[in-house]
Chain A
Amino acid sequence: MRRDTRRTGVFTRRALLVMGGQVAVLGGLAARLYQVQVVEGTHFETLANENRISARMIAPPRGRILDRFGVPVAGSRINWRALLISEQATDVKATLDAFSRIVPLTDYERARIDREIHKHRHFIPVMVREFLSWQDMAAIEVNAPDLPGILVDVGTSRIYPYADHLSHVVGYVAPPNEADVADDPVLALPGLRIGRAGMEKYHDLALRGRPGAVQLEVNAVGRVIRELDRTEGVQGDDVGLTIDAGLQEMVVAKLGDESASAVVMDCRNGEVLAMATNPSFDPTVFNAGVSQAQWLEWTRDRRTPLINKATSGLYAPGSTFKMAVALAGLESKAISPSDRIPCPGYLDLGDTRFHCWSKGGHGSLDLRGGLKNSCDVYFYEAARRTGIDKVAAMANRMGLGTELELDLPGQRIGLIPTREWRMAQGKAWNIGDTIVSGIGQGYIQVTPLQLATYCSRIASGRMVQPHLTRSLGGVLQPGVQPEDWPTIDLPDKYLHAVREGMWAVVNEAGGTATGAKLPDTKVQLAGKTGSAQVRRVSRELRESGTFDSSKLPWEYRPHALFVCFAPYDAPRYAVAVVIEHGNAGAAAAAPLARDIMADTLQRDPANRTEPPGAKLADATK
């Protein structure tokens, strides 16, 4: 036997070489493992945690909106929802059939549910039906054994106890849209609503609260394994309004079927006690979404239920503007309270004749007489003497045609024309424009809220701003005390002269609104009527003597306006009423304003801390 030692030697050497190679390779693996596990360990640990920890936010309960006495006007209500977890249902179709026997489901809903089931993983709950009644919820619970996979859960939805009485003030909420979510991802939380109008919109951030967070451990397909950590959300702040919900209801009832708006203000501090707009809408419907038919009905209604007429309705103030003309004239010394201006029933200027509403004329009138009779010629002359720019400046100062510091979105500014404004339009200002401005016609446009503010400033002599927020999160906001507001830089005698004129309108024989006298003779109301033409009436028609604006089609009739404050000797409340196409201020708006003022004085919300009748209700409990 020959021994092939050479071959053995080669084998031994090469085997050792292979072993060396193996050791080197395995050592390389060990080094690479060290790199991945120890050197880059923290990086991968972060990635592993990102994998397994899913942070989800919990929608916080939305804050409430309360009236000035703490009565909720917007709150959250429990919303029973039936959900389906398809993997827990042995037969999804059978479960839904059984569910339909308790709560009927439409074919449309069935299709939606099927779609959602296919879209999501099988352990994700799919909404079957929300807003279940308590009875339905109970029936589902009782029949649970026949409904495998069905789960009843509690969410919240927004409710408005005062429904359409306060919808324009409170506003409404709706599910956020994609643009909102892009701005703030928190809004993607299911069940979260965003304020879309009114106080819901203005105080949206405060009402929303802070979302809670829950850290969940999830597996690769997203199933929740356990909860790691939970931070509860903070409920949104309650917003306290200046509104007296009870008074608001009464005002809305008074407006009846008219397309109208009324504002009640505390004239000493600008608190809006009632702000009614008719017709209105029920904000609750926005919660679930508005049907197309409903939307069309709203948008086609010429009485514009979706528009808050109090802040966004623009009207010529008509004769209610005359106090502003008077104050401008007094301040610029163009007139004095005792100056008399003759009224032959018209004012001729060049070859144009401007008529007074009284065909025969008023004779010679001082300021008080001018206001009392609402004499057009007196104010044509006053405006002519004062000049449009001073009239406009005074109107703006008193809150007309200017932006108010209002805490409600969507107010419109209106317009008080000036020479500059007209020039910006490329036109020259005519003296005739000044004349018609003197009686609140022409280009002038104001809102009912501006009228209430104007009346409040005349009554209190303070530069109050209308506002709706009284407290935020239980903290009283500044502006409650009259001293919070500066006094108007006008001699009191001028304001007094104007107030006296307004008093005469109501309380002196021959005044234009003697029908607006309060039933309680101890308390006196001072006011001013206004009728604003919406269409120019030709001279021929007017002079024919047969013209009667109440015979016009509804949309061509003049708007009826009335502003007033009371009590006359110690002004506390101001009321402005605008009735669209109500024809005459004295006949339509003044009695309404009187009734509203009477109710306001009776309730006296500014001097109470509880709504009237609350004590009684507590006692009977």
Chain B
Amino acid sequence: MMERRLWREASFDLTGKILRINWLYVLLLCALAGVGYTALFSAAGGSVEPYAGRHLVRFCIGLIMMLGIALIDIRVIQRLSWVAYAGGIGLLVLVMRMGHMGKGAQRWIELGGLQLQPSELMKIALVLALASWFHKATWERIGNPLFLIPAIVAILLPVGLILKEPNLGTAAITGIVGTVVMFAAGVRWWKFALVVLPIPFAAKFAYEHLHDYQRARIDTFLHPENDPLGAGYNILQSKIALGSGGMWGKGYLQGTQGHLDFLPEKQTDFIYTMIGEEFGWVGAIAVLGLLALIVLGGMLIALRCRNQYGRLVALGISFNFFMYVFVNIAMVMGAIPVGGVPLPMVSHGGSAMLTVMLGFGILMSVHVHRDTEFESANDDR
């Protein structure tokens, strides 16, 4: 009976829904994809092939997908939250069994010709599941530690699986995103203190149990000058590229570090470096500003939403995007260890772009359905 009502509402209100899409936000995303197109055109040495053209096609597919998801009723998404979570866990298990090796880790699986990185999907599924868990809970209920245990398990299960791939960076991001969602849901401050305080000890313990390549990354991060031609090469060359861009940059298609191949993986992880080299600090700040607008825009969508589920989902997805941005940019300027995290919507790579666009589709659905009432008794009006 409820399904029928939802379906009716959805079909009746299609025009209204399209009008309620935050088109300004879509425009920001288009601008970011445009930045990606421009940078990838340069990364290919001034050619549409092989990166920029495909990037555009993927963005168009992703945009249609995003708008399609935006029209799905938020309540349907909420009901599918735990299904998505279970699916994500299933894929993580699958990737462990038959995943493709990439850079010493099993991260990818082929799904219908598309390379899929389940850990990326998992972060969104985790946000949905946590939002679903907390959206019905009262303030008092959240104060009950027993109520929090399933949520903590829901975070630690995928974090553990991603750590086993092994993918330290994504595991950390997943854990942080889950924690931030719990924080926004109203979990008490002191409980976070309980988690945060042991972190230095946990870090020491983790460092001793890391893979050699991960430890090497941390060591080179701390002392990149010790190994300028080996593991420190990427960070050093990236810093040289950024720094030599100066205030105004070397000019479009004029970046020597990028075009002479000193800059490694310039079309993926180090695309931001390339922008910084060719457009200087001014260009880098402009792109950073655009990314900030997208992050904060998502947070505003969360604040504007009138149901707890939508708020938590929007916050979680925005925060996930923020983590991408922070990790990637901090990485290219040598502020944190290199972690194989792309700059979403700018870096070359279909899987990451589609995952991010999927998240923005859900974010947009939150916005379209910002005033939708859930049948639960706990809606806050």
Contact = CB atoms under 8 A, between A and B. Distances in A.
B6 interface: no
A47 B225 CA distance: 13
Interface string A210-231: 0000000111110001000000
A15 B276 CA distance: 31
Interface string B309-348: 0011001000100100110011001010000000000000
Nearest to A44: B243
B256 A11 contact: no
B119 interface: no
A218 B261 CA distance: 10
Contact of A33 (B276, B315, B378): B276
B288 A33 contact: yes
A489 B378 CA distance: 128
Contacts, number: 153
Interface stretch (B32-40, B148-156, B291-299, B353-361): B291-299
Interface in A156-179: none
Contacts of A44: 239-244
A428 interface: no
B299 A11 contact: no
Contacts of A332: none
Given A18-B180, A22-B299, A48-B241, A38 B246 contact: yes
B186 interface: yes
Contacts of B280: 37
B308 interface: yes
Interface in A409-466: none
B303 A51 contact: no
B281 A38 contact: yes
A41 interface: yes
A38 B299 CA distance: 31
B161 interface: no
B219 interface: no
Interface residues of A, number: 45
A8 B380 contact: yes
Interface residues of B, dominant DSSP: helix
A19 interface: yes
A452 B333 CA distance: 77
B260 interface: yes
A11 B135 CA distance: 11
B288 A30 contact: yes
A220 B234 CA distance: 12
Contacts of B218: none
Contacts of A42: 246
Contacts of A475: none
B285 interface: yes
A10 B262 CA distance: 49
Contact of B284 (A5, A7, A33, A221): A33
A128 to B, nearest CB: 29
A216 to B, nearest CB: 11
B118 interface: no
A218 B262 CA distance: 10
A523 interface: no
Interface string B133-144: 000001100100
A11 B381 contact: no
Contacts of A33: 242, 276, 281, 284-285, 288, 333
A47 B240 contact: yes
Contact of B261 (A29, A40, A221): A221
Given A30-B288, A41-B244, A219-B261, 12 more contacts: A10-B186, A11-B184, A15-B299, A22-B292, A22-B319, A23-B296, A37-B281, A37-B284, A44-B240, A45-B246, A48-B240, A217-B260
Pick the 8 closest A-B CB pairs, nearest first. Answer: A44-B243, A48-B244, A219-B260, A220-B261, A41-B246, A37-B281, A45-B244, A10-B186
19 contacts: A3-B379, A4-B308, A11-B186, A23-B292, A26-B295, A29-B326, A32-B330, A33-B276, A33-B281, A36-B242, A37-B245, A37-B247, A37-B284, A42-B246, A44-B241, A45-B243, A49-B256, A51-B262, A218-B260
